[in-house]
Amino acid sequence: MAIKNNYIRIEYLVFLCAVSAFGFVTENTYYLQIMTFIGINTLLGLGLNMLMGYTGQVSLGHAAFYGIGAYTTAILSGTYGINPWLSLVCAVAAAVFIAFIVGLPTLRLSGYYLAMGTLGFGMIVNIVIREWAAVTGGASGFVGIPVLEAGPLIFMSGANYYFLVWGIVFAAMIVCRRLLASRTGRALRAIHDGEKTAVAIGINTHLLKLEIFIFAAALGAVAGFLYAHFVLFISPESFGFMFSIKIVTMVVIGGMASVWGALLGATVLTLLPEVLHGFAEYEMIIFGTVLMVVMIFMPQGLTRGIMDMIRTAGRART
């Protein structure tokens, strides 16, 4: 076990070095911007991965918490001039509170019903954002989100924001990993493997599902906060149903039940539209095709698929 733990530490160290190196070396603001978006999407993927990949509870409304995070900070810091860091706390609190209220009845559902329930919730949040124009700016969006500052640091230039986002991503990955290696993590995986059996061995599945739903929502709100203060202008489309599906796709493509899967999935799904700039209209078709191909050839997701390929290649050589 000790050896295994060391490997994991090395993985994280390599990851940290690679991310820092990229941040220091890259001057191109476009690349830094893309990487920042990858980081924000990774946060969303990480949260949903805990809920969907590990606990087996499909949510089709995850973008709602992203939106709640973004709009809460936008309104509080933009309209009311509250310190953005304080509004981060409020954004997370709002997401936690709403996740609690929504999750309490919804998580009694399972399978398709849970998916439908969260889908409905996501749509309601989007409609509220769209229609409550006096506060949210409605369909035309919210303008005037302040830039993040911390003492002499201004988080506007590419590199600063890049490091802020990836620092948070790294912390979130550690939190997820620690959680998974714990009693709680084992219980979550038990729910995934068999919810009835999990109850029969004494796990309060309803409470635990609620906890992890709230955790995912909180990570989503942090991602929303980072997004809002990065782009400084937000509109309802960014938090709609299509984006919820996109987060689900990230988790599935990257590989459910792997912390690295969220990172890989977010990377692929953030880069694809950039690479396929000329084919913007066909974006959904290409996403769909990629999803299908991955599901057919690597049903465990890219992370596991690639690992298996390396292993088989290694075995073939010896």
Partner 1 sequence: MTQSEPTPGIPAKQILDVQNLTKMFGGVKAQDQISFSIEKGIVCGLIGPNGAGKTTLFNMITGIYQPDAGKVAFNGKDIRKTPAHRLVKAGIARTFQHVELFSSMTLLENILVGMHVRTQAGFWAAVTRIPAMKREERQSRRRAEELLEFTGLCADAHKMAGDLPAGRQKTAQIARALASEPLLLLLDEPAAGLNPVETHALGKLIQKIKQSGITMMLVEHDMSLVMEMSDKVVVLDQGKKLAEGTPRQIQRNEAVMSAYLGNG
Single-letter amino acid code for the residue at 192: H
Report 230-269 residues binding partner 1 (CB under 8 A).
257
Give Dmax (Cα) for the chain: 68
161 binds partner 1 (CB under 8 A): no
Does 193 engage in binding with partner 1 (CB under 8 A)?
yes
Q: Collect all residues with Cβ–Cβ distance below 8 Å to 227 and sequence separation of at least 6.
A: 40, 66, 69, 70, 234, 238
Nearer to partner 1, 52 or 198 (CB): 198
Interface pick for partner 1 out of 18, 156, 181, 284 (rule CB under 8 A): 181
Q: Is 58 left (phi over 0), alpha (psi -120 to 50) or beta?
A: beta
* CB count in 10 Å sphere of residue 113: 11
Query: Residue 254 CB, nearest distance to partner 1 (Å)?
Result: 17
Residue 93 binds partner 1 (CB under 8 A):
no
What is the chain's Cα-based Rg?
Answer: 20
Query: For partner 1, which residue of 199, 231, 286, 291 counts as binding (CB under 8 A)?
Result: 199
How many residues belong to the site for partner 1 (CB under 8 A)?
A: 28
User: Residue 50 CB, nearest distance to partner 1 (Å)?
Assistant: 11
Residues 6+ apart with CB under 8 A from 97: none
Quick one: which of 29, 140, 197, 312 contacts partner 1 (CB under 8 A)?
197
Nearer to partner 1 by Cβ, of 179 and 245: the residue is 179
Q: Is the dihedral of CA 203, 207, 213, 215 positive or negative?
A: negative
Binding span for partner 1 by CB under 8 A among 42-50, 149-157, 172-180, 262-270: 172-180
Listed ranges 116-124, 147-155, 184-192, 222-230: which one lies at the site for partner 1 (CB under 8 A): 184-192
Q: CB-wise, 36 or 205, nearer to partner 1?
A: 205
Per CB under 8 A, 213 contacts partner 1? no
Contact between residue 250 and residue 266 where contact means Cβ atoms under 8 Å apart: yes
Pick from 146, 147, 125: nearest CA to 136: 125
Give the list of residues 6+ apart from residue 87 with CB closer than 8 angstroms, or none.
72, 73, 76, 77, 225
Tell me how far apart the terminal alpha carbons of the chain are, to the nearest angstrom.
26
According to the binding rule CB under 8 A, does residue 175 interact with partner 1? Answer: yes
Question: Contact between 51 and partner 1 (CB under 8 A)?
Answer: no
Whether residue 101 contacts residue 117, with contact meaning beta carbons closer than 8 Å, is answered with no
Of 91 and 188, CB closest to partner 1: 188
- Contact pick of 83, 101, 147, 178 for partner 1 (by CB under 8 A): 178
Counting contacts by CB under 8 A, is residue 184 touching partner 1?
Answer: yes
Q: What is the DSSP string of 42-78?
A: HHHHHHHIIIIIIT----S-HHHHHHHHHHHHIIIII
Give whichever of 83 and 182 is closer to partner 1, judged by the CB atom: 182
Would you say 183 or 317 has its CB closer to partner 1?
A: 183
Contacting residue, 166, 215, 230, 239, with partner 1 by CB under 8 A: 215
Q: What residues make contact with partner 1 under the rule CB under 8 A?
A: 175, 178-179, 181-187, 189-190, 192-194, 196-205, 211, 215, 257
